[in-house]
Structure 1
Amino acid sequence: MLRRQSSATWLLMAHVGLVLYASLYPFWPWRWPPGMGLPWLLSLPWPQRFWSFDLEVNLVGYVPLGLLGYAAAVRSGWGRGAGLLLGLLPGPLLSFLMETLQFFLPGRVPSLSDWALNSAGSTLGVLLGLVLHALGGLRHWEDLRDHWFGASSAPALALLALWPLALLYPTPLPFGLGQWLPWWRETLVDTLDGTPWALHWGPAVTLQHDLPPGLEALATALGVLAPMLLALAIARPGLRRVALILGGLGLGLLGTATATAMNIGPDHAWAWLTDATRPGLVLGGVLALLACLLPSRVCAALGALALCALISIVSLAPSDPYLALNVQAWENGRFVNLYGLTRWLAWTWPFVALAWLLARLVQRGE
């Protein structure tokens, strides 16, 4: 089989990042476990009690690792044997490493049952991959991808698959991903405080009140338009582009409504549709449909510009006290790991998408 780039590879790397975050959060403080020698670190303890939520998460959380590992190898042309190795081995090895490292984090509790459930989950993922492969599911996905998208589209497809998940994080504006720079500024100032390299910057450049309705509508339009332009940068020409945009808009609406429902309750799932955001949503959708007529490289260039503008506006958005309460509830609740994943996705997604679009533009023959 001809080797090719697979979106499963990129999704696999993203899922490994999720496992690292979920297993090692809050990442501090690190210390040698008191009274434990090196041999003890290689023997995981059996827990004294079990929680159903932990059992489910440890089992289900590693299923994608096995499935994506198998699919990445097979879709890349390495064969079924390599797929079994990539699907079966990394899960138990990664889980054992994570559980061992938890000895050094006082807030985490390593467990042999967690390792067993993680290993079982990755094995189930491989079995699911074998079933899909036998039924022709992987081949069908390859044909479907070739029908809808051009060559070298795997990273962009992975980004598009992660976009609805990034929307689950509470953001100051609907579709307002990328508010990362203020956090970096605050972190850098706090880290260097009291050192010779302390930074004495003035107050952060943010608005003290809500964004003007026109600017909020523009930010919403850009937040909708940028992912659609990313999709059009890899989509094949024709009416299928219109269907792709309509499907993407539907996923974006669903992701934003789900995030609102998780934050303030299902009865308010559509509360984000205000007099300011509705025009922006319509404008972004109309511009995305019009962009279906443009060449892929033009869509990539416009997508890069839209992301730059979105990041600039979102960085100016003021903090919302209700948003802070929602984030605190996520941090202290059962959704702490989901919170961590969606936070980093919401912060970094526009930057990674921008980097890919710029790389796409400098490539020749694309």
Structure 2
Amino acid sequence: MAAHKTTALPLALAYAALILYASLYPFADWRDQGIAPWAYLAAPWPKYWTGFDFAINIAGYVPLGFLAALTVLRTRAAANGARAVLRATLAGAAISFAMETLQSYLPARIPSNVDFGFNTAGTLLGAVLAVGLERMGAIAHWHRTRSNWFVEDARGALVLLALWPVALLFPAAVTFGLGQVFERLETAISELLLDTPFIDWMPLRQFELQPLVPGVELLCVMLGALVPCLLGFMVTRSAVRRAMLLPLTLLVGIAASALSAALSYGPPHAWSWLSLPVQIGIVAAGCVGIVLLGAPRRLCGGLLLLALVLHLSLLNQAPESAYFAQTLATWEQGRFIRFNGLAQWLGWLWPFATLGYALVALSRRTRQS
């Protein structure tokens, strides 16, 4: 029997990348301590520990175990529950062992056999949960629901939609403004080429980046909210299902933005970003989405490309404000130091990955037609 294409596989790989970032960030000052990197396995029980630390180590690997076991169940017809749990647990244990071992070379991190054990236990718990849901029929029900809602080759779009709210968690200068990379990219290239002959090859910008006026900010918010909706429209089977997907997508984006603000400025400021231009932009995105409920999927793909290009063009003509830079410093140097790396990269790259997906999907349909 042919392997079933499941969204669990790319999601498991994406989550493994998140674990890698959280475990090894900031990827700096590698050194050899002169001892075996796996010496931590024989270390005694740590003197200082909290229940929160143990809970985080378990909870952090539960999704990996769940997605890994689900991948085995959905891609291998002969795999039973025990085999799926075993393979998922071994994969999680191998990843945890690799991360803890590599932490031996990072001065900012401390490898721990306790972390390794609880990470493995979390993977096992997630895998057992996946198998239990499979035996209760919940996974099969999801598969039927997905087949009824989405076209056959919707895996890439669903993965991007699942990653969108995660990308929104990293603070953005403009609400839903993912992909604002021009200023940072320009600075990074200039620093890289400094004191080299190639610095003279760097084109000089002929204008200063100007803050977005409220009208342009409104347009950016509308386009940023509309992009995931159009992405969903590309793979949704009917207008009725699009009508349900549209408000759900907008609500998820609003919730992720509120959570980002709460993490950045504190819970009392969770809704401080919801200014008048942002409110009008969200409503405008909903209105445009309603107009496009019955549009052909190919047209939605074309409009998605147009919206992305316009959104990125407008967004990257604006600088990051000093207040926003202070917010980033809170994330990059404070309590979010283990998480900010991946979230930041997701915020930068998500629009470009969506752009690539839309181009490939439209070119594939052109060849098939």
CA distance in structure 2 between the aligned counterparts of 1:91 and 1:206, rounded to whole angstroms: 49
User: Counterparts of 1:270-349 in structure 2 under 5 Å?
Assistant: 270-349=271-350
User: Partner of 2:29 in structure 1?
Assistant: 29
User: Partner of 2:184 in structure 1?
Assistant: 183
User: Partner of 1:13 in structure 2?
Assistant: 13
Change (3 A) 1:218 1:206: farther
Q: Is the 8 A contact 2:58 2:122 kept in 1?
A: yes
Q: Match of 1:110, SS?
A: coil
12-21 or 1-10, larger mean C-alpha shift: 1-10
71-80 or 149-158, larger mean C-alpha shift: 71-80
Shift of 1:133: 0.9
Change (3 A) 1:82 1:329: same
CA distance in structure 2 between the aligned counterparts of 1:157 and 1:107, rounded to whole angstroms: 36
Q: What are the Cα deviations for residues 15-56 of structure 1, in whole angstroms up to 9, with x where unaligned?
A: 0110110111110122222x32xxx22322343422444322
Shift of 1:204: 8.6
Shift of 1:85: 4.3
Q: Match of 1:152, SS?
A: coil
User: Partner of 2:75 in structure 1?
Assistant: 76
Q: TM-score, normalised by structure 1?
A: 0.93
CA distance in structure 1 between the aligned counterparts of 2:287 and 2:98, rounded to whole angstroms: 49
Shift of 1:330: 1.9
How many residue pairs are counted as aligned between the two chains? 361
User: Partner of 2:116 in structure 1?
Assistant: 115
Shift of 1:245: 0.7
User: Partner of 2:92 in structure 1?
Assistant: 91
CA distance in structure 1 between the aligned counterparts of 2:310 and 2:50, rounded to whole angstroms: 46
219-228 or 48-57, larger mean C-alpha shift: 48-57
CA distance in structure 2 between the aligned counterparts of 1:359 and 1:82, rounded to whole angstroms: 35
Instruction: State the AA in 2 paired with 1:118.
Output: N
User: Partner of 1:250 in structure 2?
Assistant: 251
Instruction: State the AA in 2 paired with 1:141.
Output: W
Q: What are the Cα deviations for residues 307-342 of structure 1, in whole angstroms up to 9, with x where unaligned?
A: 111111221222122222222222233322232232
Change (3 A) 1:73 1:181: farther
CA distance in structure 1 between the aligned counterparts of 2:354 and 2:166, rounded to whole angstroms: 15
Q: Match of 1:329, SS?
A: helix
Shift of 1:279: 2.2
Instruction: State the AA in 2 paired with 1:87.
Output: A
CA distance in structure 2 between the aligned counterparts of 1:205 and 1:49, rounded to whole angstroms: 55
CA distance in structure 1 between the aligned counterparts of 2:236 and 2:39, rounded to whole angstroms: 51
Q: Is the 8 A contact 2:183 2:319 kept in 1?
A: no
CA distance in structure 2 between the aligned counterparts of 1:239 and 1:149, rounded to whole angstroms: 12
Shift of 1:286: 0.8
Q: Which consecutive unaligned segments of at least 5 residues does structure 2 have? A: none
User: Partner of 2:219 in structure 1?
Assistant: 218
Q: Match of 1:158, SS?
A: helix
Q: TM-score, normalised by structure 2?
A: 0.92
Shift of 1:288: 1.3
Shift of 1:206: 5.3
The share of aligned pairs that are identical, in percent, is 38
CA distance in structure 2 between the aligned counterparts of 1:204 and 1:251, rounded to whole angstroms: 39
Q: What are the Cα deviations for residues 99-152 of structure 1, in whole angstroms up to 9, with x where unaligned?
A: 111111111111111111111111111111111111111101101101110011
CA distance in structure 2 between the aligned counterparts of 1:317 and 1:285, rounded to whole angstroms: 25
CA distance in structure 2 between the aligned counterparts of 1:308 and 1:85, rounded to whole angstroms: 45
User: Partner of 1:64 in structure 2?
Assistant: 63
Q: Is the 8 A contact 2:85 2:124 kept in 1?
A: no
User: Partner of 1:354 in structure 2?
Assistant: 355
Change (3 A) 1:176 1:206: farther
Q: Which consecutive unaligned segments of at least 5 residues does structure 1 have? A: none
Q: What are the Cα deviations for residues 156-176 of structure 1, in whole angstroms up to 9, with x where unaligned?
A: 111111111211111000110
User: Partner of 1:159 in structure 2?
Assistant: 160
Instruction: State the AA in 1 paired with 2:37.
Output: L
Q: What are the Cα deviations for residues 216-269 of structure 1, in whole angstroms up to 9, with x where unaligned?
A: 111011001111000000000231110111111111111112222222233332
334-343 or 356-365, larger mean C-alpha shift: 334-343
Q: What are the Cα deviations for residues 256-300 of structure 1, in whole angstroms up to 9, with x where unaligned?
A: 122222222333322222232222222111111211111111111
Q: Is the 8 A contact 1:91 1:119 kept in 2?
A: yes
Shift of 1:201: 4.2
304-313 or 320-329, larger mean C-alpha shift: 320-329
